[in-house]
């Protein structure tokens, strides 16, 4: 478990799930993971928020994991894989853990139960029951603006004592809470920031890494920012952040991951920008803004090469 925890650092990609004509687009998925396996990422999250995981059938989730595992292996990259699972009833999530025990994954990413608004005692009991049952270590996912209830830091610190709870994807959107948790967490409990627009602040405060949708674009720049922060080169890190800060907001102008999928389809990384209802593709107004930004960044990249 100690070795496993050490994998929770650096830049992780919450991979989008490509679709075409309503079905999983395996050809695009293969090209997508080949594309990113050649880039400086340290891990991949599958079937979570950015991957529209709650719209995937269990057969589709299994295919996503299988395809990505095979392509990562073929690329010779020892990238850890994390599977997002979610739901309301603890018993349903235990069933999901049983279903995926033999899957070739390294971690689970599990958020608080949405809608039911459990107490902190309920959250403690819920995650403890899951951790007691899990065959793979759990990364907690604190995202109260989606789940309606957040995990308080005191609850988080109690959960951090469990040997099967390895860390946190922090999307609390509260800088004070993030900084307090980083200051108080035990050394073995890893914190990965997942709030794209606030990620630079969290990294400067001592987060171990980041899980960023925005890193589908400008991947090398995001990876360099993390390296510079880790090595204490704060001026270089700030300069890199200045290049991508606006991007972290643009990609969330409309519900994610539709803007990122539009960008990836327009640049030929995937075949289609299709999302699944109740998600819809980007509006014409945002599409025009994204096209303009694509043209600008393409021209900047070409000028650097020249």
Which member of 141, 145, 230, 262 is catalytic? Answer: 141
**For 173, left (φ over 0), alpha (ψ -120 to 50), or beta?**
left
Feature table: binding site: 50, 211
CA distances from 300 to 106, 264, 295 (A): 37, 18, 9
For residues 272 and 18, is the Cβ–Cβ distance under 8 A?
A: yes
DSSP 71-95: HHHHHT----EEEEE--S-HHHHHH
DSSP 244-269: HHHHHHHTTSSSTTHHHHHHHHHTTS
In sequence order, the 6+-apart residues with CB closer than 8 A to the CB of 140 are 110, 111, 127, 151, 156, 159, 165, 167, 168, 169
Q: For residue 147, count other CB atoms closer than 10 A to its CB.
A: 21
Feature table: binding site for pyruvate: 50, 211
Reported for 128-134, long-range contacts at CB under 8 A and 24+ positions apart, including other chains, are 128/159, 128/162, 129/90, 129/94, 130/90, 130/93, 130/94, 130/97, 131/159, 131/162, 131/164, 131/165, 132/164, 133/94, 133/97, 133/98, 134/97, 134/108, 134/164
Active site residue 115: no
Which member of 108, 169, 261, 262 is catalytic? Answer: 169
Active site residue 169: yes
For residues 195 and 173, is the Cβ–Cβ distance under 8 A?
A: yes
The catalytic residue positions are: 141, 169
């Amino acid at each position: 478990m100690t070795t496993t925890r050490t994998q929770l650092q650096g830049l992780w990609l919450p991979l989008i799930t490509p679709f075409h004509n309503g079905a999983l687009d395996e050809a695009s998925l293969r090209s997508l993971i080949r594309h990113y396996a050649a880039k400086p990422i340290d891990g991949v999250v599958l079937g979570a928020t950015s991957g529209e995981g709650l719209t995937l059938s269990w057969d589709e989730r299994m295919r996503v994991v299988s395809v990505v595992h095979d392509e990562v292996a073929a690329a010779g990259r020892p990238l850890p894989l994390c599977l997002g699972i979610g739901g309301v009833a603890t018993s349903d999530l235990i069933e999901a853990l049983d279903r995926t025990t033999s899957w070739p994954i390294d971690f689970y990413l599990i958020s608080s139960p949405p809608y039911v608004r459990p107490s902190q005692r309920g959250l403690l009991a819920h995650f403890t029951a899951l951790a007691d049952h899990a065959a793979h270590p759990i990364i907690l996912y604190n995202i109260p603006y989606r789940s309606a209830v957040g995990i308080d830091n005191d609850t988080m610190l109690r959960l951090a004592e469990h040997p099967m709870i390895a860390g946190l994807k922090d999307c609390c959107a509260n800088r004070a809470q993030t900084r307090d948790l980083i200051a108080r967490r035990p050394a073995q409990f890893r914190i990965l920031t997942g709030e794209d627009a606030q990620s630079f602040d969290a990294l400067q405060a001592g987060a171990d890494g980041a899980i960023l949708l925005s890193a589908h674009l400008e991947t090398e720049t995001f990876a360099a920012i993390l390296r510079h922060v880790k090595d204490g080169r704060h001026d270089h890190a700030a300069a890199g952040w200045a290049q991508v800060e606006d991007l972290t907001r643009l990609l969330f102008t409309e519900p994610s991951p539709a803007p990122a999928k539009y960008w990836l389809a327009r640049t030929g990384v995937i075949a289609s920008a299709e999302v699944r209802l109740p998600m819809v593709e980007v509006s014409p107004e945002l599409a025009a803004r994204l096209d303009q930004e694509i043209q600008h960044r393409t021209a900047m990249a070409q000028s650097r090469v020249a």
